[in-house]
Amino acid sequence: MVELKLYYVTNRRHEGNDRWNPDGYGFGFSDDGAENLRFGKVTAQADDQQISNYLNAETTDKGSGNGIQLGGYLEERIKANGTINAFAEILPDGTQKLASKEMFQEVKSEMEKATDTIVYAHGYAVKWTEAVANALSLQAMLNKKDENVENQKVLVILFTWPSDGRYVLAEDARKIFLGAYRSDRVEAEASGAALGRGILKLRDFFIDMRKTGQPACNQCIHILCHSMGNYVLQNALTTIANNTPTSALPALFEHIFLCSADVDDTVLEPDQTMGILHQLSSSVSIYYNREDKALWFSDKLKGNPDRLGTNGAARPAAVHKKIHQIDCTAIIQEGIVSNEHSYYMYGKTNRDIRLSIANTNHYDLEKRERRQIGNFTNEWKLI
- CATH classification of the domain holding 310: 3.40.50
Strands 38-46 and 24-29, how do they pair? unpaired
> Quick check: is 16 in a domain?
no
Q: How far apart are CA 218 and CA 77, in angstroms?
A: 34
pTM, entire model: 0.94
Q: How far apart are CA 235 and CA 220, in angstroms?
A: 23
> Quick check: is 215 in a domain?
yes
* 268-326: pLDDT as tens digits: 999 999 999 999 999 999 999 999 988 887 655 566 789 999 999 999 999 999 999 99
Q: Which domain covers residue 357, as residue numbers?
A: 98-127+135-382
> Quick check: is 213 in a domain?
yes
* 186-239: pLDDT as tens digits: 999 999 999 999 999 999 999 999 999 999 899 999 999 999 999 999 999 999
Q: Which helix (H) or strand (E) holds 310?
A: helix 308-311
Candidates 163, 139, 323, 308; CA nearest to 229 is: 163
> Quick check: is 343 in a domain?
yes
> Quick check: is 81 in a domain?
no
pLDDT band (50, 70, 90) for residue 169: very low
* 10-53: pLDDT as tens digits: 999 999 999 889 999 998 999 999 999 999 999 999 999 999 99
Per the structure, how many domains does the chain have?
1
Backbone angles phi, psi at 41, to 5 degrees: -145, 150
Q: How far apart are CA 353 and CA 287, in angstroms?
A: 10
> Quick check: is 335 in a domain?
yes
> Quick check: is 341 in a domain?
yes
